[in-house]
Amino acid sequence: MNVKKFTASSTREALRMVRDALGPDAVILSNRNVNGSVEILALASEDMSSLAPAADQRPPSKSGFRQSAALNDSAPAVPAAAMAPAALASFSRPRTPDHDQAAGLSQALGNARDMAVQAQPAQIVMSESLQSGAAGRNEMSAMMDEIRSMRSMLESQLAELTWSSQAKREPVKSSVLREMLAAGFSASLSRFLIEKMPPAATQESAMKWIKAILERNLATVDNENEMIERGGVFALVGPTGVGKTTTTAKLAARCVMRHGPGKLALITTDGYRIGGYEQLRIYGKILGVMVHSVKDQADLKIALDELKGKHTVLIDTVGVSQRDRMVAEQVAMLSGAGSEVKRLLCLSATSTGETLNEVVRAYQGEGLTGCIMTKLDEAATIGNVLDVVIRQKLNLYYVANGQRVPEDLHVANQQYLVDRAFKLKRETAPFQLQDEELPLVMANTARNMNDATLRGVNLV
């Protein structure tokens, strides 16, 4: 018997080596993984007759024919169901040293081999090591997911217990925390400031410290000379419905009152919304300013080249959802217009903090010059928008609190906005947090304390 061993990096490669060396009728005796390689023991078809004496010395088992002990123990057994009827008949004959019976046994082995290969091809091709490896990876992945879930649950429970005990030890901090959450500030920013807050004897002194820190980190423009006096090209960007066109008209009215209509030009890229161009054209007609409409980057570049002599150029852009891919196209159009276009992001005070964060990330691009808070008169709380402005370190230029042009546009003031945020706190019962709910809210902030936006808060 001439058993040969073939080793390769994959089962396919090893089978190819067997076929090249022993022919397509070779018999696969074993297939296993050894040190990352696939090892196959094979036998030429003409050498199968050498198995007859070994098989003749041992009766067949109930489960089928059993191979010689000289072969590898991992060799797959050929099931009885896979044998041809002629092969089973040859095994039932009495064992004699007759040469004819040996020849019949050899033929039976050949038939059994052919039937086994046809019935179970997957056992020859599939590597057991690959199966066990995939199962092991799946088990490990499931175990890691379970560990992460347990860790998250333990962190939340520990944070909840910590804040429950702290509410009893330090009632002033709990009271200030409730005020910040009611004003619309995020739980993570509120927790960060509460933990950094120096010991305070009264709630009044604690609130005074909190307001001072918020005012210090709220970047605003001291006066509008930076925009109105210096001039330049400004584009108002933001999602649909945040008041870009109305705010553009308010800024245009301020420029006209300061420098006259000849120093101002208006451009709109809103070719999608019905009446978008007409609305700005009506404002321009009232102010005596020409309104130009552009469709793409080439049109915008031509328009800006023609308007180089203007002191101020205001661009009203089309409103696009922060999740729309057109946002990137809009940012690219403004950046590649050939002139320095300063982008001002309009943030609606009526939006949630999560929505405002998405808007800033989407419209950030290579950097925003600043932002304008709109719809202050419609917002129940404004802590959400102040929170985002502080985290994202945006320069707050103006605050819009109505539809009147140009009266309802004001230069941002830190002290006024922070004070107004706490005056507009949630006071209705369905949205007011109770004492027993504070630990549940703060438990979810355990993983957010390493946020990079919080590390930039100035506490000095």
The tens digit of pLDDT for each residue in 159-170 reads 655 655 665 667
pLDDT of 110 > 60? The answer is no
Both 364 and 260 in one domain: the answer is yes
* Domain boundary residue, one of 412, 435, 451: 412
In the chain, how many domains are there? 2
Task: Decide: 398 and 410 in contact? Cβ < 8 Å.
Answer: yes
Tell me if 199 is assigned to some domain. no
The dihedral built from the CA positions of residue 30, 128, 60 and 23, taken in this order, carries a sign that is negative
Phi-psi region of 367 (alpha: psi -120 to 50; beta: other; left: phi over 0): left
The dihedral built from the CA positions of residue 166, 169, 173 and 179, taken in this order, carries a sign that is positive
What pLDDT shows up at residue 80? 39
Tell me if 214 is assigned to some domain. no
Give the C-alpha distances (Å, rounded to integers) separating 401 from 51, 315, 352, 394: 96, 21, 18, 19
More confident residue, 197 or 440: 197
Mean pLDDT along residues 52-56: 47
What pLDDT shows up at residue 294? 87
d(CA 113, CA 89): 16
What pLDDT shows up at residue 284? 87
Range of the domain at 107: 3-126
Task: Decide: 245 and 279 in contact? Cβ < 8 Å.
Answer: yes
What pLDDT shows up at residue 416? 92
Tell me if 242 is assigned to some domain. yes
Q: Which of 52-61, 297-306, 352-361 has the lowest mean pLDDT?
A: 52-61
Share of the chain above pLDDT 90, in %: 16
Both 229 and 120 in one domain: the answer is no
Both 234 and 374 in one domain: the answer is yes
pLDDT of 176 > 80? The answer is yes
Tell me if 32 is assigned to some domain. yes
What pLDDT shows up at residue 458? 66
pLDDT of 413 > 70? The answer is yes
pLDDT of 128 > 60? The answer is no
Give the CA count within 13 Å in the CB-facing half-sphere of 327. Answer: 20
Q: Which helix (H) or strand (E) holds 210?
A: helix 203-217
What pLDDT shows up at residue 456? 62
Q: Which of 31-45, 125-139, 369-383 has the lowest mean pLDDT?
A: 125-139
348 token code pair: 């609606």
Both 288 and 391 in one domain: the answer is yes
Verify cis geometry, omega within 30 degrees of 0, for the bond prior to 406.
yes
Mean pLDDT along residues 297-312: 89
Q: Which residue has the tokens 């994959």?
A: 10
Tell me if 141 is assigned to some domain. no
356 token code pair: 């405002």
Tell me if 285 is assigned to some domain. yes
pTM, two decimals, is 0.61
Both 405 and 274 in one domain: the answer is yes
Q: Which helix (H) or strand (E) holds 29?
A: strand 27-34
d(CA 253, CA 260): 9
Task: Decide: 143 and 414 in contact? Cβ < 8 Å.
Answer: no
Task: Decide: 393 and 399 in contact? Cβ < 8 Å.
Answer: no
* Domain boundary residue, one of 72, 97, 126: 126
* Domain boundary residue, one of 61, 96, 126: 126
Angle at 320 between CA 315 and CA 325, to 5 degrees: 115
Task: Decide: 233 and 294 in contact? Cβ < 8 Å.
Answer: no
Tell me if 324 is assigned to some domain. yes
Q: Who contacts 43 (Cβ-Cβ below 8 Å, separation ≥6)? A: 1, 2, 3, 4, 22, 26, 27, 29
What pLDDT shows up at residue 163? 58
pLDDT of 389 > 90? The answer is yes
Both 238 and 364 in one domain: the answer is yes
Residue 76's Cα: distance from chain center in Å?
Answer: 48
Tell me if 239 is assigned to some domain. yes
Rg value, the chain, Cα: 40
d(CA 169, CA 190): 18
